[in-house]
């Protein structure tokens, strides 16, 4: 039964999907997890949010479109090649997620030069030539940055919304701002901003250090009138579980960190199903 999946907002209409591109039959929502630049923890966040959706009873796919540095194979310890049935590739499975990564298809360590159109066609193939089956949500780990390739993707894929990941320091936030602007240009609603590596809590003495400053993303979100989804600390366990092939939400589902990802996922899902995603382009109303 699918009854519980719509809770708490019932059978509300799905938000507007303004981008006109490739959708996937059977997939209710495709969301992008994006960042203005690399290294801010976008893939880690995408994987843990996907796992948190799963823990909340949703049917979830994770598509690693980060062609410049696919990390999903490492995050989930998956290194086999997907099976091919007819024209379709079967996604791999781990912790209840259906997973596809460009890293399953390209030998590790191969230097690839991706031009914009190649990124687009790889992405389209991963969307339409993979047997995703019935999914409530497909989380797409986007390539970092806001160049042409990303813009085209945001435009051509039927996205229900985008989650922007940033670290708190100004330079990363300037990039995050560009990310928000890019999605808005192509009319993709911003579901919210996550502040990753928000602070560091010393496991020995409990001292909290704000390595990159703290709260920058929350302030930036307020400025941009975009929802702030939450803070994830810089934590050894988050890095270690990811490197070990079972991200923290799978490995330690009851931990504080897993709960933080759970709260973010719940907010994203309620925005997706309430028909009121974070910040959408204004609607023009003609009064008679």
Considering only the stretches 98-106, 116-124, 184-192, 227-235, report the one whose residues sit in contact with ligand ADP under the rule CB under 6 A: 227-235
Told to check if 23 binds ligand ADP by CB under 6 A, we report no
Please say which residue, 40 or 127, places its beta carbon nearer to ligand ADP.
40
Q: How far is the CB of 75 from ligand ADP (least distance, A)?
A: 8
Told to check if 194 binds ligand ADP by CB under 6 A, we report no
- Buried b or exposed e, range 223-259, using 16+ CB within 10 angstroms: ebebbbbbbbbbbebbeebbeebbbbbbbeeebebbe
Told to check if 38 binds ligand ADP by CB under 6 A, we report yes
Considering only the stretches 6-14, 115-123, 169-177, 234-242, report the one whose residues sit in contact with ligand ADP under the rule CB under 6 A: 234-242
Give the integer Cα–Cα distance in Å for 139 and 149.
Answer: 18
Told to check if 167 binds ligand ADP by CB under 6 A, we report no
Closest residue to ligand ADP, Cβ-based? 41
Told to check if 52 binds ligand ADP by CB under 6 A, we report no
What mask of x and - would describe binding to ligand ADP in positions 111 to 140, judged by CB under 6 A?
------------------------------
Told to check if 150 binds ligand ADP by CB under 6 A, we report no
The residue ranges that bind ligand ADP (CB under 6 A) are 35, 38-44, 71, 144, 196-197, 232, 234-235, 238-239, 242
């Amino acid at each position: 039964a699918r009854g519980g999946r719509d809770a708490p907002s019932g059978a509300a209409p799905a938000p507007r999907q303004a981008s006109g591109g490739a959708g996937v039959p059977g997939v209710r929502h495709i969301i992008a997890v994006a960042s203005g630049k690399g290294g801010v923890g976008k893939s880690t966040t995408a994987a843990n949010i996907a796992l948190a959706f799963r823990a909340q009873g949703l049917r979830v796919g994770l598509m690693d479109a980060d062609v410049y540095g696919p990390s999903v194979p490492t995050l989930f310890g998956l290194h086999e090649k997907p099976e091919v049935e007819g024209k379709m590739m079967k996604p791999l499975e781990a912790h209840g997620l259906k997973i596809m990564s460009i890293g399953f298809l390209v030998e590790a360590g191969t230097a690839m030069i991706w031009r914009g159109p190649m990124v687009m066609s790889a992405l389209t193939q991963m969307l339409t030539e993979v047997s995703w089956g019935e999914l409530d949500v497909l989380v797409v780990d986007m390539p970092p940055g806001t160049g042409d390739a990303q813009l085209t993707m945001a435009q051509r894929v039927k996205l229900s919304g985008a989650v922007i990941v940033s670290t708190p320091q100004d330079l990363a936030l300037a990039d995050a701002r560009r990310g928000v602007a890019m999605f808005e240009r192509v009319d993709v609603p911003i579901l919210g901003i996550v502040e990753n590596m928000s602070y560091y809590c010393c496991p020995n003495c409990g001292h909290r250090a704000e390595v990159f400053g703290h709260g920058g993303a929350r302030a930036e979100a307020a400025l941009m009138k975009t929802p702030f989804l939450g803070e994830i600390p810089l934590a050894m366990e988050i890095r270690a579980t990811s490197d070990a092939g079972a991200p923290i939400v799978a490995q330690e589902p009851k931990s504080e960190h897993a709960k933080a990802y759970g709260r973010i996922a719940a907010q994203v899902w309620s925005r997706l199903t309430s028909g009121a995603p974070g910040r959408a382009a204004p609607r023009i109303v003609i009064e008679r």
